Structure 1
Amino acid sequence: MSKLNKDILFLIFEELQDDSTLLFSCLMVNRIWCETVIPILWRKPWHYAIDYHKKFSLYYILTSYLSNDIKEFLTKKGIQISGQSLAFDYLSFCRSIDIKIINDIISIGSSLEYNKFLLQEEIYSLLIKKCPEIKYLNICGTYEIVHLPEAKVRLESLCELTCDTLIDPKYFYRLAHICQQIQRIIIINKNLKVNHGTIKLIEFQKNIKYFKWVDEFKEDDFWELLEDPYTENFNVLKKHANTLNHFDINLQFDDEFFNEYDYSFLQDAFLELYNLKILEIEAPIFLNNDDYFSKELEMVAYRNLEIIEIDVIDIYQVTCIVKNSLCLRELRVNDFDWNYDNYYNDSLNFFRTICENCFLIEHLTVPMFLENQFIEFEKLLKNCQNLRLLYLKHTTNIKGGNELEFGDYLSNVLIKVASTNLRKLIIPFDIRFSLKTLETFFEKWKGRPAISIHFDDYYFYQKDDSYVKLFDKYKVEKVIKDIFL
Structure 2
Amino acid sequence: MVVTDKDCLPLIFEELHDDRRSLYSCLLVNRLWCKTVVPILWKDPWKFLNNLKDFNRDKLFLNTILLHLSEESKNYLRNQDSINKYINIPQRQQTPLFNYIHLIKYIRKKYQCLNVKSICYQPFYDKCILEQEVYKLFIDKCTSLKFLDITDIKYPIYEYPGAAANLSRIRELQCKSCDDKEFFYGLTKMCNLIEKLCILYISSNPGLAKLIEIQKNLKYIKISVNRNFNMMMKWEDKCQMIDQAIIKHSNKLIYLDIPIESISLSFYINFFSKLINLRTFILDGNMLFDTGLEEQLVFSSYTKLQVIHLDCVSFSTAKKIIQNTERNLQIIWTNNICYSTVELVDQSRNFIQIIYQNCPYLKYVKFSLKGQYFEEIKQLLINCKFLEGLYIDMDNQINNYLNGDELLDILIKFAPNSLFKLQLNFFEFKTKNFDSFFDKWKKRKSLWLYLNNVKLDEDYKIEFKDLIKKYESKKVIKKYESDDYLNFINEYTEFITY
TM over 0.5: yes
Residue equivalent to 2:141: 130
* Deviation by residue 1:383-404 (Cα, 9 ceiling, x = unmatched): 2233233223435897789x54
Q: Cα 1:70–1:317, aligned 2, differ >3 Å: closer, same or farther?
A: closer
Q: CA deviation at 1:329?
A: 2.2
Unmatched tracts of structure 2, length 5 or more:
484-498
Distance 1:340 1:218 in 2: 28
Higher mean displacement: 175-184 or 316-325: 316-325
Aligned residue type for 1:152: A
Q: CA deviation at 1:184?
A: 0.9
Q: Cα 1:126–1:445, aligned 2, differ >3 Å: closer, same or farther?
A: closer
Aligned residue type for 2:65: L
Distance 2:189 2:22 in 1: 39
Residue equivalent to 2:334: 333
Tell me if the contact between 1:230 and 1:265 (Cα under 8 Å) persists in the aligned partners: no
Distance 1:281 1:386 in 2: 25
Distance 2:68 2:405 in 1: 69
Distance 2:481 2:161 in 1: 59
* Deviation by residue 1:149-178 (Cα, 9 ceiling, x = unmatched): 532222112111111122111111121231
Residue equivalent to 1:469: 463
Residue equivalent to 1:254: none
Distance 2:400 2:353 in 1: 25
Q: Cα 1:338–1:21, aligned 2, differ >3 Å: closer, same or farther?
A: same
Q: CA deviation at 1:197?
A: 1.6
2:155 is the alignment partner of 1:152: no
Residue equivalent to 1:447: 443
Aligned residue type for 1:151: A
2:177 is the alignment partner of 1:165: yes
Residue equivalent to 2:283: 281
Q: Identity across aligned pairs (percent)?
A: 30
Secondary structure at the residue paired with 2:329?
Answer: coil
Q: CA deviation at 1:417?
A: 0.7
Aligned residue type for 1:60: N
2:430 is the alignment partner of 1:419: no
Aligned residue type for 2:212: I
Q: CA deviation at 1:276?
A: 1.7
2:236 is the alignment partner of 1:242: no
Aligned residue type for 2:198: I
Tell me if the contact between 1:263 and 1:285 (Cα under 8 Å) persists in the aligned partners: no
Higher mean displacement: 279-288 or 311-320: 279-288
Q: CA deviation at 1:335?
A: 1.5
Secondary structure at the residue paired with 1:477?
Answer: helix
Tell me if the contact between 2:356 and 2:380 (Cα under 8 Å) persists in the aligned partners: yes
Q: CA deviation at 1:81?
A: 0.4
Secondary structure at the residue paired with 1:161?
Answer: strand
TM-score by length of 1: 0.82
Q: CA deviation at 1:349?
A: 4.3
2:238 is the alignment partner of 1:229: yes
Q: CA RMSD in A?
A: 3.4
Higher mean displacement: 327-336 or 266-275: 266-275
Tell me if the contact between 1:59 and 1:106 (Cα under 8 Å) persists in the aligned partners: no
Q: CA deviation at 1:19?
A: 3.3
Q: CA deviation at 1:73?
A: 4.0
Unmatched tracts of structure 1, length 5 or more:
252-257
Distance 2:70 2:433 in 1: 75
Distance 1:109 1:69 in 2: 25
Out of 208, 213, 230, the residue aligned to residue 223 of structure 2 is: 213
Q: Cα 1:90–1:40, aligned 2, differ >3 Å: closer, same or farther?
A: same
Distance 1:23 1:31 in 2: 14
Q: Cα 1:241–1:148, aligned 2, differ >3 Å: closer, same or farther?
A: same
Aligned residue type for 1:326: R
Distance 1:339 1:173 in 2: 46
Q: CA deviation at 1:285?
A: 6.6
Distance 1:348 1:69 in 2: 69
Residue pairs, 1:20-419, within 5 angstroms: 20-50=20-50, 53-55=55-57, 56-78=59-81, 79=84, 80-83=88-91, 84-100=94-110, 101-104=112-115, 108=119, 111-143=122-154, 144-189=156-201, 191=202, 193-216=203-226, 222-224=230-232, 228-230=237-239, 232-249=241-258, 262=264, 265-266=267-268, 268-284=270-286, 287=289, 288-290=291-293, 293-294=296-297, 296-297=298-299, 300-323=300-323, 324-343=325-344, 345-368=346-369, 374-395=374-395, 403-404=402-403, 407-419=404-416
Tell me if the contact between 1:385 and 1:421 (Cα under 8 Å) persists in the aligned partners: yes
Secondary structure at the residue paired with 1:337?
Answer: coil
Distance 1:117 1:243 in 2: 39
* Deviation by residue 1:253-309 (Cα, 9 ceiling, x = unmatched): xxxxx8x65576446533432322222233337744447635x23xx2222222222
* Deviation by residue 1:31-54 (Cα, 9 ceiling, x = unmatched): 111112222333333343345742
Distance 1:364 1:428 in 2: 14
Secondary structure at the residue paired with 2:251?
Answer: coil
Tell me if the contact between 1:276 and 1:302 (Cα under 8 Å) persists in the aligned partners: yes
Q: Cα 1:114–1:321, aligned 2, differ >3 Å: closer, same or farther?
A: closer
Q: Cα 1:476–1:124, aligned 2, differ >3 Å: closer, same or farther?
A: same
Q: CA deviation at 1:416?
A: 0.9
Residue equivalent to 2:487: none
| Aligned length, in residue pairs | 461
2:13 is the alignment partner of 1:16: no
Aligned residue type for 2:443: G
Tell me if the contact between 1:58 and 1:105 (Cα under 8 Å) persists in the aligned partners: no
Q: Cα 1:139–1:398, aligned 2, differ >3 Å: closer, same or farther?
A: closer
Aligned residue type for 2:67: S
Residue equivalent to 2:491: none
* Deviation by residue 1:4-42 (Cα, 9 ceiling, x = unmatched): 521221232234334333323322211111112222333
